[in-house]
Every structure is written in C-alpha cells, then in structure tokens.
A and B are shown apart, each in its own frame.
Chain A
Amino acid sequence: MTDKKHKLLEVKGLTMDFGGLRAVDSVSLAVHEGEIAALIGPNGAGKTTFFNCVTGIYTPTSGDILLHPKGLETRRLNGFKPNKVTEMGLARTFQNIRLFSGMTVLENVMIGRHCRTYSGIFRSILRNRSVREEEQETIETSYRLLEKVGLEKFVNEFARNLPYGAQRRLEIARALATDPFLLLLDEPAAGMNPYETSELDQLICRISEEEQIAILLIEHDMKLVMKISNPIYVMEYGKKIAQGSPFEIRDNPKVIEAYLGEEVDA
C-alpha cells in the first residue's frame, strides 16, 4: 500500500441523460494524488458534461461521484450544489471562458477567495479590524496568485480587456484561489498560440508540483496532453473507450479510429 497513491476523486458508472440523449454513458475514472490526468475525445464526446456533473452544475442521472479528501471522510458528491463542491476542494475552469468581465483582474481572483473567508453583512458594515485584515489578506493572496500565473501587470485591468490566453490563465488563478486539492481544467489551451501553450504546460506542471494539486484536464491539443499527462482517459459518444499511459493511448486502435473518424468528418 505504501507505493499506492491516495485516490482523490473516484467516479463510478457516471451517466447523464439530456432527454433522449445519453451524453455520458457509465464512465468510470479516478484521479490520484499528484497526478495530471487527461480526458480526451472528439467534439461532443461528453467531456464537458462529465465535468459539469462532477462539479455539481448538472445532477447526474446515475452513478457515483466520490471525493476522498486527504484525512477526511469520503463524500458522495451527487446532487451537491456547485458551491459546496468547490468548498470541498474541487475547483474548475470553463471551456467557454466565464470570467466576471466587468470586474478587475484582481477582483476576479478575490471572488475565488470567497468560500475561504468569513466576513458577513454585519461585520462588513462594521468593518472592524478583523474584517479589514481578512480583506487585506484576500488582496495579498490574490495578488500572489496573479504573479504565479504571470498576470500581475494586468492587475487593475477589466477582465474583458485581457488577451485570450491571459483570460484562460486568469480562470486558472481564480480557481486556485479557492484552495482546491483537485483542479479540473476544461480545454485550457483552446485558442492559444504555440508560445502561450508552452507557457501553459509549464504553469500546469508547476501547479501540480509546487501546490500539490492534482489535475484533471480536457484538451484537444495532443502534443500538450501527451507531454504532461498520465493517465489519459478517452471518451467517444459518451462512453469511455480507453485509458492508460500516453504510449498505450497512442497505439490504441480504438482511439486512432475515433480520432481518424473525426478527421474524415471534418
């Protein structure tokens, strides 16, 4: 048991129906401590839907989502509200960027601190010492996160004025601000140029190593996936069709077919 890593997230037979459409069909996967796992598959495979189920945006039709925080008891996440899921230590980013566009870059990250801070209405009105200290703490923490993702020069800029790649990194910073132990990234490299992508893969590796945060990422950029993630899970039409190390995945005939099939369509 000593070399076996702690299992953080365990999904068993997850199924999600939209009316007659089965978007996710009994998918099982697990993310262990220290891992950068990837979930890949052609467009419409159900990857984002899978994320939405895990993070509480959708309530899955059936299956189990189990979270095993280190040192705490196991929780079944089905039916939890998204904010509860985030509070338990599972943060995410969105495929179609969902920043608070009318707020500044710093404020966006500060929102991430919300679930880790406590000042309520009455204390905010009184604005006593502890409230001010907490606020300052929030600001400092958020600023440091911006430095970490390399956005400190935009600190007072409105989020909507940021370049695309920077917006994706801001989403990561905002998610990190919630103090997660597991981070779900939905296509973090989408729309980025090769240079930005290589910066991003370094950032992801750094987060994984320095912060001890496990990562599950959805990505279409195969180079990135093959380079940084292990294991890789492959989905097609809602079903999991393969899982394994990058090498196993690369040579898996089912995966090749799924992807070639897509290329013929395109």
Chain B
Amino acid sequence: MLREFKQSILIALWFVFLTFPLMVVRVNTIENVVVWRWENILWVAIGAFALSYCWRYMLARRQRQNKKAEEGIDTRGPLQAALDNVELRNRAMAVLLTLALIFPLVFDTYQTNIMVTALIFVVLGLGLNIGVGLAGLLDLGYVAFFGVGAYTYAILNANFDMGFWIVLPIGGVLGCLFGVVLGFPILRLRGDYLAIVTLGFGMIFKVVMENWETLSQGPSGIANIDRPGLFGIEMTLAQSTVYIYYIMIALVVLTIIVTNRLKNSRVGRAWIALREDEIACVAMGIDMARTKLSAYALGAFWAGMVGVLFAAKTTFINPAGFTFMQSAIILSIVVLGGMGSILGVILGAFILVLLPEYLRAFSEYRMLVFGAAMTLMMIFRPQGLISNLRQIYQYKGSKDKAAHDG
C-alpha cells in the first residue's frame, strides 16, 4: 500500500514537471507578459495522483484475486455469488420480467422505443454469443446476418406484400442459410484470419446492398415497410410501438431459453470444447465441421429473426445501417458482458445501448469512451462483467460401483 502511495506521488510530480510548460506558463503575446498559473500545478498533481493510485490499486487487487483463485479460494464478488444461487436468480428473473412487462405502461413511446432497440441488441448479443462466446469463433461481420433478415422482410414486403409474421421465420431461416454458406470457407481458419475474413463478409453484404439496385433499391434504401400486424387491427404509432415492444420481449425470452438450454446440452458442451482445443475435440470424436457450422448457423438465425423485427420497427432500412460499427458494438456487448454468459450479455447490451442514449451530451466522444472502457475491461476484468455461470451436475456417488461394472 505504502509503496503504491509513494509511486503515485512520484508519478504526480513527474506529470507536474512534464506539463509545466503547457499548464503553468502562458505567454500573453498581446501584452508581452508571462502569466504564471500556479494553481494548475495542484490540479495536475491531484489528477495524476488519483489516476495512478486507482490504476495501481486495481492492478494489485486483480493480482490478489488471481492468487486467491489459484489457491482455490472463492473470489466471487457479492453479485456473482448471488447469481450462482439458483433460487435467488429465479426470483430476480421473475422481478425483472414483471418490470419489463409493465415498462411500456409506465413510460412513454420514446422510452419504449429506446427499450426496443436495447432488446434488439440483447438478442443480437445472445446470438453472437453462441459463436464467439461458446464456440470461440470470432465474427466481425455478424451484422450481415442482421441485414439479411432486415432486407428479407423489406424486399418481401415491398414486392409481395408479405406480412411480418410470415417473414419472421423466413428471415431466421435465411440468416441461418447464410451462416452455413459463409461458414464453409472459414471452417479451417482461426484467430486473426477468421477475424479478417468475417470482417470482409460484413463489408461485402453492405457493398452488395448498395449496388444491387434492382433488389435492394441501392443506397437510398427501402421505405414504407409495414409494421407488424395484429389481425388487421389499425394501430396508432404509440400502440404499434408497445406491440413491437411486447413482441421483442417474447423474442428475448425465447432466445434466452433456447440459448440457455443449448449451452447446457450435448451440443453446447461440444461448442465449448471446440473453443478450448480443436485438436483434442476432433480426437474425442466431435465432428468439427458440423459443430462449427451449427454454431454459426444458430447465431445467424437469431440475427436474421431480429433483423426482420428491426425492419418492421424502423419501417425504413438502408445499407448504411449495417456497417462494421454495428458488428463492433455487438461484439463489444458480448465481450463487456462476459463471453459465454447469458446474463452478462444482457447486461452488456443494456449498458452499451442505453448509456449512449441517455448520455447524449457525450455522443461525440462515444467511440473514445467505448475504446477506453474496452481497454480497461481487458486489463482489469477480462472475463467480462458477469462470468459464465457453472452448470451443476447431479450424480450418484456410486458405492454400488461393482454392480455397474460387472
């Protein structure tokens, strides 16, 4: 502690010295006098000291935790511990769901709309989490599948007047198909190569949509897409927003159930094993191609579905809405929340979508804050906000072992 204190003081002094010419000395060229702003020394010193001290404290804390973890001591924070408690978790889920259900009744259309956006990113995060978090397949072009879904609805709606509910599954299936098609060439790739190729796929989607005018109406996009219908009932904008909100809640619940079940199943275990060690995985009898493709396709499925909903919500889409930025945000959601952790991804989506929304004042610094937050995250908490909940297995401690073996 004392050492950290001393070092921080040294750093503060060093910064004072470094910034002296900038912060303290100022030449007033009009009156030809030098202004000495001594008070700035204090601010620089305090600022540098505080930052440095925090930094050191966090690093030291992390080291202590790592050490404890090595010795097998419980290092979970209170939140993590509470989440590991199944009963508590179920109760929290129930409360959250109730809150979610009454949300649009309490808040206005504007807030509900923002919430829908957040929920869309929850589903996207959960979908990407299958590939990135569970199977370890980095995908920087995930937004393409989202775009496939959105354009599927836009095109089918504009040309064939097909309704939202019919296209919703079609969008999912098409997303899935694209996932498989794009998955094939990258089966053998790993790490950086995979990242670059998927990045390319994301770009290709946008370029194709910009240039294939007959299909997608080019950069100007497709407008006047129908909102979701409900037995032909006419709805005002506000009503429609609430309706979409509830559809979205249902979709989120469905995604959570499905991904959770898959995660704790034979298939999910294979995905995780694939992430851990590919060679051991195939040597243990797991079909790599099939497992990878299924992870890809399933992730793309959710993106496709929610893409349809996105098009129905905004009623207007154009290629500029499906850029690398979106992919990066979705990936950040997964990384920030905690790879492989469903709750983490949900939390991550809310943070990354809602914070910028409510902190409009900082919107210009958004990417800057984003980058800084991610960097800090990687240094201090690489496992994400909420790390993966462990599945608990029940087994008979078999004393009647001989009977089984015989």
How many residues on chain B are close to A (CB under 8 Å)? 38
Complex formed: what's the CA distance from A154 to B162 in Å?
57
Which residues of chain A come closer than 8 Å to B285, judged between CB atoms? 83, 86-87, 112, 114-116, 178
B373: Cβ under 8 A from any A Cβ:
no
B239 contacts chain A at the CB level, 8 A cutoff: no
How many residues from A make CB contacts under 8 Å with B?
51
- Given the known interface contacts A86-B284, A104-B390, A121-B262, the answer about A98 and B277 at a Cβ–Cβ threshold of 8 Å is yes
A107 contacts partner chain B, Cβ-Cβ < 8 Å: yes
Instruction: Report if A78 contacts B (CB, 8 A).
Output: no
Q: How far is the CA of A120 from the CA of B273 in the complex (A)?
A: 16
Asked whether A124 lies within 8 Å of B270 as measured between CB atoms, the reply is no
Q: Are B287 and A83 in contact (CB under 8 A)?
A: yes
Q: Which residues of A contact B279 (CB under 8 A)?
A: 57, 82, 98
B351 within 8 A of A: no
B294 pairs with A114, CB closer than 8 A: no
Within the assembled complex, what's the spacing in Å between the Cα atoms of A130 and B49? 62
Q: Tell whether, in the assembled complex, residue B404 and residue A124 are in contact, meaning their CB atoms are under 8 Å apart.
A: no
B280: chain A residues within 8 A (beta carbon): 94, 98-100
Residues of B269-308 whose CB lies within 8 A of A: 269-270, 272-273, 275-277, 279-288, 294, 298
| Complex contact A102–B276 (CB within 8 A) | yes
Whether B39 is near chain A, meaning CB under 8 Å from some CB there, is no
8 Å CB contacts to B: which residues of A103-149? 103-104, 106-107, 110-112, 114-117, 119-121, 124-125, 127, 131, 134-136, 138-140, 143-144, 147
- Most A-side CB within 10 Å, residue of B269, B279, B394: B269
Cα(A81)–Cα(B298), bound, Å = 24
Q: Using an 8 Å CB-CB cutoff, how does the interface string of B254-268 with A read, 1 for contact, 0 for none?
A: 000010011001111
List residues of chain B with CB within 8 A of the CB of A106: 393, 395
Within 8 Å CB of B287, what residues of A? 81, 83
Name the B residues within 8 Å of A243 (CB-CB): none
Q: Does A101 contact B (CB under 8 A)?
A: yes
Q: Is B401's beta carbon under 8 Å from chain A?
A: yes
Q: How far is the CB of A100 from chain B (nearest CB, A)?
A: 4
Q: Are A144 and B401 in contact (CB under 8 A)?
A: yes
B269 and A107 within 8 A (CB): yes
- What would 16 more interface pairs be, CB under 8 Å, given A139-B395, A156-B393? A86-B283, A91-B284, A94-B280, A100-B276, A100-B281, A101-B277, A103-B276, A104-B390, A107-B272, A114-B286, A121-B294, A124-B265, A127-B265, A131-B265, A134-B266, A139-B393
Question: Which residues of chain B have a CB within 8 Å of any CB of chain A?
Answer: 70, 72, 258, 261-262, 265-270, 272-273, 275-277, 279-288, 294, 298, 390, 393-398, 401, 404-405
